[in-house]
Amino acid sequence: AEAQTRTRFTWWYGLSGQLGEVMESYCKNFNASQNEFEIVCTNQNSYDRALQNTIAAFRAGEHPTMVQVYDVGTTDLMLSGQYLPARQLMSENGYSVQWDNYISSVGNYYATSKGEMLSFPFNSSTAVMYWNAGAYRAVGQEKPPETWEEVEKAARALKAQGHACPIAIDFDSWQHWEQFNAIHNLPMATQQNGFGGLNAELQIAPLFRRHANNLIAWQKEGLIQIRTPQGGRGLADSFAQGECAMMMASIANHVAIGRTAKADLQWSVGMLPLYAGHNRTNSMVGGASLWVLKGRPAAEYKGAAAFLAFIAKPEQEQFMVSNTGYIPVTRTGFESIKASGFYDQPQNRGREVAMTSLLVTEPTENSRGLRLGNFTQIRALYANEMAAAFSGQKTMDQALNDLQAESNRLLRRFEQTYRGRQLP
Ligand SMILES: O=P(O)(O)OC[C@H](O)CO
C-alpha cells in the first residue's frame, strides 16, 4: 500500500557494467531515504542509446522524467529545447543550490553562454593513460611517459622483448581524437568547437593526422593492437588481464580495473601523452549530466528535484567517488575527499592525475568542451573510418578526409533541423 502513495518518476541512464550497478544503487538508496517518491530506473546500456531512445520517446510522448546524457549529447539536448533548466527546476521546487560550488569547467559544460546551468553534473571524468608499470619497468621505463615519443620508444623495447601488445587502442573517438585535440590545444571544429554557432565545420588538425598515421605505422610494426568488445575483449579487460601494457580510457574505469586486475598486475595512471614540443592544455570534462525533460506531470518534477538534491549531498558525492573512478564535481567535495587522505590510499593511487589533467590550464576554446550536434553519429563515423583504415581498406588520410566530409554533412543537417534557433 505504501508504494502506491508514492509519486513515481522515471530515470533512464546509459552507464552499464559495474558503473550501471552504481546507478542502480543510487536508485535504491534514494527510494530507501524517503517515503514520498519512487524513482524507477531503466538501464539503456550505453550513453548513445540513452540519448537516441529519449529522442525517439519524445516523438511518442513516452520520454522519462530524467535522462543521463553524455558530454557530447549536450548540444542535442540544448537545441531540442525539451528540458527544464536545472536552476528553474530546483528553485520552483523549493531547493537552494550553491551553483558556484561546482568545479567551473564541469558546470560550464552544461551551462548557457551566460553561465546558467541547464543540467545537473553527476558523473564527471576525463581520459587518462593506464600503464602497466611492471611490464614497462622491465624495459627501463620507470614512470608513465609524458610524450608519444617516449611511449613509442618504450613500446618498441617491450616488443623487442617479445611482448605481444605494448599498446592497445580501440575506435572510441573520445579519448583517441577529442581529448588528443584538447590537450594539444587544437580545434575539432571552427566557431570555437561550435560554441560560436551551429554553422561550425569539423576539421582534422594536421597534428592529429600525423598521429593517426603514426598509429597505423605502429600497428604494422606490432606496437599497437586493436582491442574492441566486438573483437572479443575490450581495452579495459585487455589491460586488467595484463595482456596489453598501455591504453587510454576514462578515469571512470579506475575502480572496475582495480577490482578485476589480475593479482600481480602493477599498474598506474598518467596523463594522456603529448607530442614533444607542445605545452599541455587541460583535457576535457567527460562523463554525463542529468537532464530533466519537459512534458511530464508536475508531481514528477518534485520527485526529480528531490533526487537531484539527494545526489548533491556530500555523502552521495563521496559514494560516487568511492565506488567509481569519477571525479568529485564540487570544489568542497574535492577538498574534503583530498583532505580525508583518499588519494593516498593504495587502491586510489594515481587518481588525482585526472584532476591535474582537467585543471592544468584554464580551459581554452579548444578544451572547454564541444558544442556540435549529431555527435553520436559523428563518433560512429569515426569508429567506422578507423576500422577501415586499420584493416587496410583505405589509407588513414582517405579515412580522415571521409570522416571530415561525412561529419560536415551531419553538422549541416543539424543546422538545418534547428534553422533559426541558437545555442542558449
Ligand atoms: O566513460 P565516461 O562516463 O567517463 O564518459 C566518457 C565520455 O565522456 C563519453 O562521451
111-166 pLDDT, tens digit per residue, is 999 999 999 999 999 999 999 999 999 999 999 999 999 999 999 999 999 999 99
What atom in ligand 1 is closest to the CA of residue 19? 3
How much is the pTM? 0.96
Could you say which DSSP state residue 7 is in? E
Give the residue, by CA position, lying nearest to ligand 1 atom 5: 287
Same domain membership, residue 387 and residue 276 = yes
Measured CA to CA, the distance from residue 396 to residue 97 in angstroms comes to 48
Same domain membership, residue 244 and residue 149 = yes
Choice from 15, 18, 22, 47 to test ligand 1 binding pocket (greatest atom count within 8 A of CB): 47
Among all chains, which residue has been given the C-alpha cell 561525412?
406
Q: Give the model's confidence band at 4: pLDDT under 50 very low, under 70 low, under 90 confident, else very high.
A: low
Same domain membership, residue 379 and residue 265 = yes
Same domain membership, residue 144 and residue 98 = no
pLDDT of residue 1: 47
Q: Express each pLDDT in 24-78 by its tens digit.
A: 999 999 999 999 999 999 999 999 999 999 999 998 999 999 999 999 999 999 9
Number of domain units in the chain = 2
Neighbours of 81 (CB within 10 A): 10
ipTM above 0.90, yes or no: yes
Domain boundary pick from 325, 340, 355: 340
71, three cell numbers: 558530454
Give the residue, by CA position, lying nearest to ligand 1 atom 8: 286
Taking each helix axis as running N to C, give the angle between helix 375-390 and helix 206-221, from 0 to 180 degrees, rounded to the nearest 10: 40
Q: Cβ < 6 Å from ligand 1: which residues?
A: 47, 70-72, 123, 125, 174, 250, 252, 286-288
Phi first, then psi, for residue 76 (nearest 5°) are: -60, -45
Measured CA to CA, the distance from residue 221 to residue 218 in angstroms comes to 5
Asked whether residue 213 carries a pLDDT value surpassing 90, the answer given is: yes
Q: What is the mean pLDDT of residues 92-115?
A: 95
User: E strand or H helix at 288, and its extent?
Assistant: strand 286-293
189, three cell numbers: 571544429
* Ligand 1 mean position, distance from CA 380 (Å): 15
What atom in ligand 1 is closest to the CA of residue 285? 8
Measured CA to CA, the distance from residue 194 to residue 183 in angstroms comes to 18
Count of alpha carbons within 13 Å of 229, Cβ hemisphere only? 4
* Ligand 1 mean position, distance from CA 287 (Å): 4
Report if residue 353 sits inside a domain.
no
What atom in ligand 1 is closest to the CA of residue 253? 1
Domain range for 406: 127-283+373-417
